[in-house]
Structure 1
Amino acid sequence: MKTNIRPPAIPLVTVDPYFSVWSMADRLSDDFTRHWTGKRNAMTGLIIIDGTPYRFAGRVEPNAENYYAEPKAMKQQEVQLTPLSSTYCYEESGVRLQMRFTTPLLMDNLELLSRPASYVQLSVCSVDDKPHNVRIYFDVTAEWCVDSSDQLVVWQQHEEGQLVVLEMSHEEQAYLNRSGDDLRIDWGQFYLAVEKSPEMRTYLASAEIRKQFVRKDEIVPGLKGDMPQAVRDHQPVMACTWDCGEVGAAEVSNLFVLAYDDVYAIEYFGDKLQAYWKKSGTTALGMIGDAFAEYPDLIKKCTAFDQKLWADGVRSGGEKYAELLVLAYRQAIAAHKLVTDSDGKLLFMSKECYSNGCIATVDVSYPSIPLFLLYNPELVKAMMRPIFKYAASDAWPFEFAPHDVGQYPIANGQVYSENALEGQMPVEECGNMLIMAAAVCLTDGHADFATEQGELLSIWADYLLEYGLDPENQLCTDDFAGHLARNANLSVKAIMGVASYSLLKGMMGHSAEAERYKKAAEEMAIKWEELARDQDHYKLAFGQDGTWSLKYNLIWDILFDTHIFDEAIIQKEVSWYLKKQDKYGIPMDSRAAYTKADWLVWAASLASGREDFVSLIEPLWDALNETPDRVPFSDWYDTNTARQMNFQHRSVVGGIYIKLLKDTWALVGKKAL
């Protein structure tokens, strides 16, 4: 597989919202690596070939205020992305270097999915039939374990069997000490681990060690002064040097593991929860040892998964669609944290990144679920459990579903709009929860999960029956566009929420109730068509002639095979979308020239023909390929300029998998239907 897209940012180490580091440049040597928020979480890679130094990652001088003659950047030949790996290939002075970043986020193994360990493999060989003397340097900075560079860090080194493990951490270990969006973790321990060998040396040092390596000076180990030290003052690094010796045509490799033990991951209604990987008592050093021991087998599994997903994506929507799937995969997962509650039930807690930092947001989970329905539906249930728990408590005062359960990583109750009624999304969240419940139960082939929450689902379905067809002035998931009364697309969601409840009642064996809700949904759909019709398309809002919007919520009528809406409605909408495209995609609606990437792909997936689907999604590929905004996959952007409007690193890009889900369900069928 060969990807051709120029990603706006390239995933390197992608585990969870705190442990997620990217390259936001074309070449890994153009800039320091950065946390998804944009703050520097630096790594530096240097190589000396026959006495001449080159950079292949980051820079030597950490302080931009000081002049330093950086060594020449090694020539980067290409960067290749797969769902689980990003691989940089370099050639210089007769030597080929490959740097492969792999985070093995395989969803059929939840302990592995939760494991906060990411691989960096360096491989080197000669390509000109001559031997070359090669030495390599690699480091990561203390920036990875603090929120701001004025914070103080401490460090130590461990020897664990055949491993050398370097460790850094913030001096003050105040677990779960704050919540918010533009924040980085400042508790727990950050690790760099390598296998012992005569050729490998490890250092806890100042970033000055980079200059010593480049100048071929004697490397002085250790940090000047006592612990603790401020990151910005001394630029502490965990570093390794690898003396490759004389390198010939045979490739030689070495493996590094970057890991992070956050000790406590989430506060959940007063309980401090540890990450899922710790549930059996595994220690951080034990986890790192497992990562090394399992690497040969894991890399084979990762390669097999990458190849299958690529083939499935190409078959479903072509190579550009497959590239969108590749770019979305690690980001969608890394915007979550996997934990269990006090009863051992799985919780998959999203962070509403680059927005307000809400945790377990319903209308962030809803667009993300196609990815997780495909690869592990248990994760969809794990997204929904916090909402069910909160909605059933005395703390939630409303008859509709909540928006969230807090602000990451504190999940002690909704924070959105300070619970003011006028700031809620009543139809939105009820519809989302009902549709998600139906989707996961259809995937299971039974309704056990929904049966556990029968009372809440019934309340929410009846709420939609009463208020969903012609929604009052309120917010929906696209809250950045403001309040809107009589929202036609929101009405579709309400109708599909009622249809979803009909499906659930049918799976529960309540045929009369199932028929009642199905008939209600069909009657609502007939009224919807009358209210929304506007010649050759359907309106943004009832009563607003000359307006339009993406009716992305219609996709569930196709996926569920419910036929609540007349097929001609969907065909008419797709024809309209094809006529309304800007250079970089279809606007979300007639109010502004911007769109949401997830909704664009959902709308495109309404198309019955592959050609129309490809025509509708290729401008999204162009937007990512050409945007000047070098940030992790932004789902909200301008359709004329490809500029980021806001949002990055959000789990909603999992929604891009909806076409693959549609095709997969069409092939295998839903177990319950």
Structure 2
Amino acid sequence: MIKKIKTIFVLLGVFLSSCNAQKEEAHLVSGLRAPAYPLVTIDPNTSAWSYTDNLYDESVKHWTGRNFPLLGVIKVDGQLYRFMGKEEVELLSLAPMGDNLAWNARYITAAPNANWNTLEFDDTGWRDGTAPFGTKVNEPRTVTNWEDEKIWVRREIVLEEDLIGKNVYLEFTHDDDATLYVNGMEVVNTGNKTGKNTKIKLSDEVVKTLKKGKNLLAGYCHNRVANGFFDFGLFKEKEGQTFFANTAKQISADVQATQTHYTFTCGPVELKVTFTAPMFLDNLELMSRPVNYLTYEVKASDKQEHQVEIYFEASPNWALDSPLQESTTEAFEDNNLVFLKTGSKSQDILGKKGDDLRIDWGYFYMVADKQNTTYQIGESSAIRASFIKNSEAAVEKGTGKNQLSLTKKITLKNEYTDKIMLGYDDVFSIQYFGENLRPYWNAEGKSSILDAFHKSYDQYNDLIAKSTVFDHKLMSDFSEEGGQAYAELCALAYRQAIAAHKLVKAPNGDLLLLSKENDSNGSIGTVDVTYPSAPLFLYYNPELAKALMNFIFYYSESGKWTKPFAAHDVGTYPLANGQTYGGDMPVEESGNMLILTHAIAKMEGDAAYAKKHWSVLTTWADYLVENGLDPENQLCTDDFAGHFAHNANLSIKAILGIASYGKLAGMLGETKVADKYVAIAREMAKEWKRMAKDGDHYKLTFDKSNTWSQKYNLVWDKIFDMDIFDVDIAQDEIAYYLTKQNVYGLPLDSRETYTKSDWIFWTATLAPDVETFKKFISPVHRFMHETTDRVPMSDWIYTDKANRRGFKARSVVGGYFIKMLESKVK
């Protein structure tokens, strides 16, 4: 049965009657040093993070790693303190990346002779190609198709000057391993990992080799599995003036589920800055509203009066795919609010698809109450100088690289609290089988972004209070259920998981919560991304779990997808016009859909959703009966590790998918159907045990002894008490896993030292008690706290070193919530 749990918001009346929730330090402070701190989290396009310990150490960045410049400076009695972001130093292109301007090179896919990476090497016999190089089927930005395992690339460049004494950077994107050279000197060796738009500063020794005339950039890339991509370029810093060199001193940083809190000292005043995304999953209009808050609270530490000015500056990059694109800017007032607006000049709505992209249609807004606020649009040096000099530069409008700035002037006598709002109007969000769909908050096109900002402004006090209560409850409840480390990881995962989706309404009225496969291949609505992320949505609102699946059901039921198993995806983000992934995952995706449909029925206590889709569920269940016990050579959700036959964990998924169908039939009163399919599943489970047994544990594949893997799919058998597999299987596996853990967690299987952090949480939930559960979670927490790869949480990480293998900012961290899902089901 499902526990009848009161919604968290019933606590608000009691809580707010006793204290002011904005001022109350009610939450349990997180001790996690996040690999990256969520700042503005709306959707895959508007997702901004701080990649450093201090908010002012680097520029604010999009999840892809591109700069989303957002500056914050406080002036106290004339003294400047930069507390957010870093003045962006413009990089001038010496050899552009292919995503900005295609470049030509010589390449080969068989191992070359020695010294291939030097300018003098004779590359006769090499092929001519245009970058980027990649697998076109899954990497839409590819120009030259590369499907071989390895590639060697020689790129001659001509410099107009010697670069001695200059700050020079190499930028590169690679999938997978890459080694890069400048004039024969190795400057990058990534090892076994992927990365996008990584920048490194070249050493003085390397820069000395960059002479006027011909030079050589050379690179090697190894595509281990599935997608391949390779691109690199050279840049130098533009010399210019720095206005805000002096920084505040950051005292603390604290990540909660809906808020990120910072505290600074700025001379005689204390400054608190909080980023809030009020993403409550039981309020779809609010969850999808594209407005976040930045609250700032200034307090005089010495109790004296001070003249204070707070300055915020944003860049047009927030509304551009590439900083080289032209933008338009404007400022205007509407009732009590001032709006600063920027967007691309071209406005090619839904004109691009892919992974390493940023939105370049619609408009970014920075908004504030106009009382005591001045605003400027102009070239960065001009508006920064005017802030320093207390002058007001003319407000400009038009194209170019105009920055947006807001300044609030305060006579501080004790303390002062105010806010700005940051948001994005994408106009149209998703193309769904040929039809452009608006975001859910404006699905009918009857509202406007101005209305959304005014509503957010008016609801500010209430929403900040609710966010505080929500954050406190999550940390408290999750700590009690799984420990402090578990709570801190789930708090960090909350906004990341939600913001990797876009909520829209289908033409038939269905809710569609469409994921973007971030830092992978950019697929939209991927079923094997839905599967691991679903626990978050099942826990808070099963209607959103349905929204993760509705488009896959429609794809089959409409006849657009005709295969007897579930599709992998419905396109490449943001174009959901049909599967674009290069391979099917028949057992994987069919099992996922059946298990999650059963999960929805269990959470709701009603199988009506399954009944609505019964015909296609039957087709998928029968496919698994025929093909699921001993899967043939095929892809599964862990396709990055390679695909193979006889996958024991995939077999578990198939068996539980069949069992889920039987259980659903029972809920619908179809007793004979229920008995038949549950009996089939139990018989298959007995055979599975015989085939997979390998002494004190169970195999990775049925045909290979002395192997092992995480059997995380078993978790549903436990959560829903399905009684399909013998309970001793999970007991034996958990005991065995504890002997295989490394410092940063349990490897995915016996082949490699890397793991998937989301699957560890599923495996840990199989543990018989909370103390054993914590033994699996603690190493993951340690990894996130210590990793040197400062990106939004990665789910594909090494367990023996503090590095990610690949992936970041993905929705699958919603899977961390599976322990809480178990606690809700009895």
Which residue number corresponds to residue 25 of structure 2? Answer: none
User: Does the CA contact (< 8 Å) of 2:378 and 2:404 recur in 1?
Assistant: yes
Report the CA distance between 1:392 and its aligned residue.
2.4
Equivalent position SS for 1:257: strand
Aligned partners of 2:88 and 2:809: how far apart in 1? 28
Equivalent position SS for 1:228: strand
Report the CA distance between 1:217 and its aligned residue.
5.2
Aligned partners of 2:697 and 2:378: how far apart in 1? 64
Are 2:458 and 1:298 aligned? Answer: no
Are 2:84 and 1:57 aligned? Answer: yes
**158-167 or 631-640: which moved more?**
158-167
Count of aligned pairs = 651
Which residue number corresponds to residue 227 of structure 1? Answer: 398
Amino acid corresponding to residue 355 of structure 1 in structure 2: S
Q: How does 1:112-131 map to 2 (within 5 A)?
A: 112-131=286-305
Q: 101, 104, 113: which is aligned to 2:278?
A: 104
Aligned partners of 1:313 and 1:156: how far apart in 2? 45
Aligned partners of 2:320 and 2:88: how far apart in 1? 20
User: Does the CA contact (< 8 Å) of 2:348 and 2:361 recur in 1?
Assistant: yes
Equivalent position SS for 1:185: coil
**549-558 or 69-78: which moved more?**
69-78
Aligned partners of 2:344 and 2:268: how far apart in 1? 42
Are 2:426 and 1:262 aligned? Answer: yes
Greater share of helix = 1
Equivalent position SS for 2:652: helix
Are 2:544 and 1:371 aligned? Answer: no
Report the CA distance between 1:396 and its aligned residue.
2.0
Q: Deviations over 1:76-121 (max 9, x none)?
A: 0001111000011001322100111001001111000010000011
Taking only aligned residues, the RMSD between alpha carbons, in angstroms, comes to: 1.2
Aligned partners of 2:528 and 2:670: how far apart in 1? 29
Q: 500, 509, 527: which is aligned to 1:362?
A: 527
Report the CA distance between 1:309 and its aligned residue.
0.9
Amino acid corresponding to residue 80 of structure 2 in structure 1: P
Q: Deviations over 1:442-486 (max 9, x none)?
A: 111111111111111001001111110111111100000111110
User: Does the CA contact (< 8 Å) of 1:209 and 1:219 recur in 2?
Assistant: no
Amino acid corresponding to residue 227 of structure 1 in structure 2: G
Q: 245, 249, 262: which is aligned to 1:88?
A: 262
Question: What TM-score results when the alignment is normalised by the length of structure 1?
Answer: 0.95
User: Does the CA contact (< 8 Å) of 2:331 and 2:395 recur in 1?
Assistant: no
Equivalent position SS for 1:282: coil
Q: How does 1:63-212 map to 2 (within 5 A)?
A: 63=90, 64-69=237-242, 70-197=244-371, 199-209=372-382, 211-212=384-385
Which residue number corresponds to residue 274 of structure 1? Answer: 438
Report the CA distance between 1:214 and its aligned residue.
6.0
Which residue number corresponds to residue 581 of structure 1? Answer: 741
Report the CA distance between 1:209 and its aligned residue.
4.0
Q: Between the two proteins, what is the percent identity of the paired residues?
A: 46
User: Does the CA contact (< 8 Å) of 2:375 and 2:395 recur in 1?
Assistant: no
Which residue number corresponds to residue 652 of structure 2? Answer: 492
User: Does the CA contact (< 8 Å) of 1:11 and 1:22 recur in 2?
Assistant: yes
Report the CA distance between 1:597 and its aligned residue.
0.6
Q: 319, 330, 352: which is aligned to 2:484?
A: 319
Report the CA distance between 1:242 and its aligned residue.
1.1
Which residue number corresponds to residue 384 of structure 1? Answer: 549
Are 2:78 and 1:35 aligned? Answer: no
Q: Deviations over 1:146-193 (max 9, x none)?
A: 100111111222222111111111111111001100000000011111
Equivalent position SS for 1:104: coil
Aligned partners of 1:175 and 1:134: how far apart in 2? 41
Q: Deviations over 1:33-55 (max 9, x none)?
A: 00000000110011111221111
User: Does the CA contact (< 8 Å) of 1:60 and 1:211 recur in 2?
Assistant: no
Aligned partners of 2:241 and 2:747: how far apart in 1? 46
User: Does the CA contact (< 8 Å) of 1:206 and 1:222 recur in 2?
Assistant: no
Are 2:410 and 1:244 aligned? Answer: yes
Report the CA distance between 1:210 and its aligned residue.
5.2
Q: Deviations over 1:261-294 (max 9, x none)?
A: 1000000001100000003511110111001011
User: Does the CA contact (< 8 Å) of 1:62 and 1:207 recur in 2?
Assistant: no
Aligned partners of 1:128 and 1:641: how far apart in 2? 46
User: Does the CA contact (< 8 Å) of 1:137 and 1:213 recur in 2?
Assistant: no
Amino acid corresponding to residue 318 of structure 1 in structure 2: G
Q: How does 1:326-341 map to 2 (within 5 A)?
A: 326-341=491-506
Q: How does 1:461-480 map to 2 (within 5 A)?
A: 461-480=621-640
Report the CA distance between 1:67 and its aligned residue.
4.7
Aligned partners of 1:379 and 1:562: how far apart in 2? 24
Aligned partners of 2:550 and 2:690: how far apart in 1? 37
Amino acid corresponding to residue 578 of structure 1 in structure 2: L
Equivalent position SS for 2:779: helix
Equivalent position SS for 2:595: helix
User: Does the CA contact (< 8 Å) of 1:400 and 1:426 recur in 2?
Assistant: yes
Q: How does 1:454-465 map to 2 (within 5 A)?
A: 454-465=614-625
Please list every run of 5 or more consecutive structure 2 residues that lacks an aligned counterpart in the other structure. 1-27, 91-236
User: Does the CA contact (< 8 Å) of 1:61 and 1:68 recur in 2?
Assistant: no
Greater share of strand = 2
User: Does the CA contact (< 8 Å) of 2:309 and 2:408 recur in 1?
Assistant: yes
Which residue number corresponds to residue 670 of structure 1? Answer: none
Q: Deviations over 1:50-85 (max 9, x none)?
A: 221111011235425325454211000001111000
